[in-house]
């Protein structure tokens, strides 16, 4: 764990990562690779910081991901392959993964940093919900996003890869085509001038060259989830740092957030992960898109809490898992009935509580019975406890809900 050396700044985290081997200090106006001029900060991850820059060669905005000096080139290699037209042809999912436009390296006080250039995005799905008090997408937009997400996952699976970290923070909404028509001055007028705060040490000592003197606050380019139109619901599936090829490597640990993590990762920990674990995460993510709150409540949850949520929603675990779960005695009878708790909330109960009722309360159309039943049928199959019982993502795209509701809405949005 990193020692806290710097006074925390709201909306700016991980200041301690500005060290040898870590983040590269960047300031607004910095120019990279003789063509990219930084105009705003978009965000950060565990290994990169992401900046909005003006590509002065083509007079357009780009996103530059500047990796930590100690980062593994794995994500860059994965995206380079997924971006290759020779590899992917004209499959629709190719446009839904980050296309690497350029790459270069920079030398700084913290080491040598790999940088790559992609198209910028407006916001993540989680950002859109955080920007809304009702935390809901319109029904038409939700269908489009879910269809596009499944198409994106199907594309990477056909390339032999699993994403490895599916959650709403890694699904980005693309910027509108008119964004590039803005000048820097118009950008600042609409979204605000770059904001920054002075970086200070707890001990009052001077800052080293490893860290910038001022921390840039990320800009908000997004909008509330309920304002997103279906025609603008174009996604990019981002952050491939955990991507892996099940056929080429054995991976046993998952970085997927616990609320989206498949149960076999806990109960079959000696078996390598593969595509079925991603189908479970995809189901949880589709739920996030259609619902107000997550399918499985996970605030400060531990593994036993999450397994309890799984059993409440989906029924008793497979016998070998059930017998392995020692904590079951405190929460359930042997036949799966809750002990000393209120009645469990089934998948159907959660759909009513988190999807239908909030939509009615906000005077948004709920799912009609036929669509609700088709959607729940698809999700329940994806949430089968046994990995081998789950459909492939190709099967998901062929499900009744996708074919009758989600994909037609996607085609309509494509035309508009």
Domains of the chain: 124-172+221-415 (1.10.510.10)
231 near 176, Cβ under 8 Å?
A: no
Q: What is the mean pLDDT of residues 375-387?
A: 98
Q: What is the mean pLDDT of residues 148-173?
A: 96
pLDDT the model gives residue 117:
96
User: Which contacts (CB < 8 Å, 24+ apart) does range 335-342 have?
Assistant: 336/311, 338/312
pLDDT the model gives residue 88:
52
pLDDT at 345 over 70: yes
Strand spans (E) along 175-231: 195-198, 214-217
Q: What is the mean pLDDT of the chain?
A: 93
Span of 111-115, 177-181, 316-320 with lowest mean pLDDT? 177-181
238 burial type by CB count under 10 A (0-12 exposed, 13-18 middle, 19+ buried): buried
pLDDT the model gives residue 256:
94
pTM tops 0.85: yes
pLDDT at 162 over 60: yes
CA distances from 397 to 135, 368, 408, 410 (A): 26, 20, 12, 12
pLDDT the model gives residue 297:
86
Under the banding of pLDDT at 50, 70 and 90, the label for residue 68 is: very high
pLDDT at 287 over 80: yes
Q: What is the mean pLDDT of residues 64-74?
A: 92
pLDDT at 302 over 70: yes
Under the banding of pLDDT at 50, 70 and 90, the label for residue 344 is: confident
Structure tokens at 182: 């803005």
Going by C-alpha positions, the residue among 122, 237, 118 that lies closest to residue 176 is: 122
Over the range 263-292, which residues count as b (16 or more CB within 10 Å of their CB) and which as e? Answer: bbbbbbeeeebbbbbbbbbbbbbbbbbbbb
Q: Would you say how long the chain is, in residues?
A: 416
Share of the chain above pLDDT 70, in %: 98
pLDDT the model gives residue 85:
65
CA-based angle 22:195:167, to the nearest 5? 55
Q: What is the mean pLDDT of residues 136-148?
A: 98
């Amino acid at each position: 764990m990193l020692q806290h050396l710097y006074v925390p700044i709201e909306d700016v985290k991980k200041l301690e990562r500005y060290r040898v081997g870590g983040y590269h200090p960047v300031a607004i106006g910095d120019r990279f690779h003789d063509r990219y001029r930084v105009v705003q900060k978009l965000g950060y991850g565990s290994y990169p910081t992401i900046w909005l820059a003006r590509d002065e060669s083509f007079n357009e905005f780009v996103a530059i991901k500047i990796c930590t000096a100690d980062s593994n080139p794995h994500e860059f290699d994965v995206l380079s392959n997924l971006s290759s037209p020779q590899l992917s042809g004209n499959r629709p999912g190719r446009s839904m993964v980050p296309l690497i436009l350029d790459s270069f390296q920079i030398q700084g006080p913290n080491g040598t940093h790999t940088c790559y250039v992609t198209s910028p995005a407006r916001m993540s799905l989680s950002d859109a919900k955080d920007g809304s008090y009702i935390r809901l997408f319109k029904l038409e937009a939700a269908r489009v996003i879910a269809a596009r997400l499944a198409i994106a996952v199907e594309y990477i699976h056909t390339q032999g890869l699993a994403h490895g970290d599916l959650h709403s923070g890694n699904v980005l909404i693309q910027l509108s085509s008119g964004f590039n028509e803005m000048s820097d001055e118009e950008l600042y007028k609409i979204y605000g001038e770059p904001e920054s705060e002075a970086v200070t040490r707890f001990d009052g000592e001077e800052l080293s060259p490893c860290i910038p003197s001022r921390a840039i606050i990320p800009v908000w380019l997004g909008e509330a989830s309920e304002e997103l139109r279906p025609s603008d619901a174009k996604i990019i599936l981002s952050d491939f740092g955990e991507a892996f090829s099940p056929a080429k490597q054995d991976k046993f640990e998952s970085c997927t957030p616990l609320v989206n993590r498949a149960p076999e990762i806990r109960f079959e920990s000696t078996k390598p992960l593969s595509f079925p674990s991603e189908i479970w995460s995809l189901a949880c993510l589709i739920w996030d898109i259609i619902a107000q709150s997550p399918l499985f409540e996970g605030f400060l949850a531990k593994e036993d809490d999450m397994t309890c949520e799984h059993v409440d929603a989906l029924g008793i675990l497979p016998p070998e898992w059930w017998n392995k779960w020692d904590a079951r005695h405190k929460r359930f009878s042997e036949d799966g009935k809750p002990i000393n708790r209120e009645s469990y909330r089934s998948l159907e109960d959660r759909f009513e509580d988190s999807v239908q009722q909030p939509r009615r309360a906000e005077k948004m159309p709920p799912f009609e019975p036929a669509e609700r039943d088709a959607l729940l049928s698809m999700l329940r199959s994806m949430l089968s406890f046994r990995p081998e019982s789950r459909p492939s993502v190709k099967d998901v795209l062929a499900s009744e809900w996708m074919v009758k509701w989600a994909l037609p809405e996607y085609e309509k949005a494509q035309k508009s």
